[in-house]
A and B are shown apart, each in its own frame.
Chain A
Amino acid sequence: AQKVTQAQTEISVVEKEDVTLDCVYETRDTTYYLFWYKQPPSGELVFLIRRNSFDEQNEISGRYSWNFQKSTSSFNFTITASQVVDSAVYFCALRRNFNKFYFGSGTKLNVKP
């Protein structure tokens, strides 16, 4: 079965705190892709990052970083020095091919000033 689990339903932090959003996935495929999307209060879905199953290098983009570990089937997302504008629902997703795209249930991040 293909599955994406985001166990944290909602997280609240105070501005400037670091926060990590967890994502655990299940797949038997050797080739797959993992994604993070952001859904701000306005409702649109914004693509943040894509990782393929052969590339376990961590990635950093400004205050955002991603930790991909195949050994634990995890693709965690860390926001450093969080800001109020980071408040959103974040979705982790797994893609096998063009028609097999599985989303987690999302983690709502509240960043308080």
Chain B
Amino acid sequence: NAGVTQTPKFRVLKTGQSMTLLCAQDMNHEYMYWYRQDPGMGLRLIHYSVGEGTTAKGEVPDGYNVSRLKKQNFLLGLESAAPSQTSVYFCASSDTGQAGLEQYFGPGTRLTVT
């Protein structure tokens, strides 16, 4: 099993450009999450999904959109990138019930917006 994978690993954008980050998991997990990690701030939840076709806002959703058209994929979109969105983005997934208490993380995507 590959676990949780993220594409791309690195990206540089200019202010105003758009892009989509792809997260894929092969563990048949119901829940998927997008976080951003900034220095000294730990991880903050951007959006999450509790199943195919559903999404919801997390702690810092502004400037991002997400979609979960297939159970195994969770896409994070930036429509008009801003320098404040320079960060490392992590995707995670978890199962349901007691088995799903811990999250499994992808390797991260380092995004720089100039």
Contact surface of A with B, Cβ cutoff 8 Å: 4, 9, 33, 35, 37, 43-45, 47, 50, 52, 91, 95, 98-99, 101, 103-106
Tell me which residues across on chain B come within 8 A of A50, comparing CB atoms. Answer: 101-102
> Does the CB pair A45–B42 fall under 8 Å?
no
Q: Give chain A nearest CB distance to B58 CB in angstroms.
A: 7
* B40 lies within 8 A of A47 (CB): no
Contacts of B100 in A (CB 8 A): 98
Q: Which of B50, B88, B96, B101 contacts A99 (CB 8 A)?
A: B50
Q: Considering the complex of A and B, which 4 residue pairs feature the smallest CB-CB distances, nearest first?
A: A103-B42, A45-B105, A103-B43, A105-B42
Find out whether the CB atom of B31 lies under 8 angstroms from the CB atom of A105.
no
A-B contact count (CB 8 A): 47
Describe A's contact surface by its main secondary structure: strand
Is the C-beta of B90 less than 8 angstroms from some C-beta in chain A? yes
Residues from chain B with a CB closer than 8 A to the CB of A4 are 42
Q: In the complex, how many angstroms separate the beta carbon of B71 from the nearest chain A beta carbon?
A: 15
Docked complex Cα distance between A45 and B90 (Å): 9
Cβ 8 A contact of A44, one of B31, B94, B107: B107
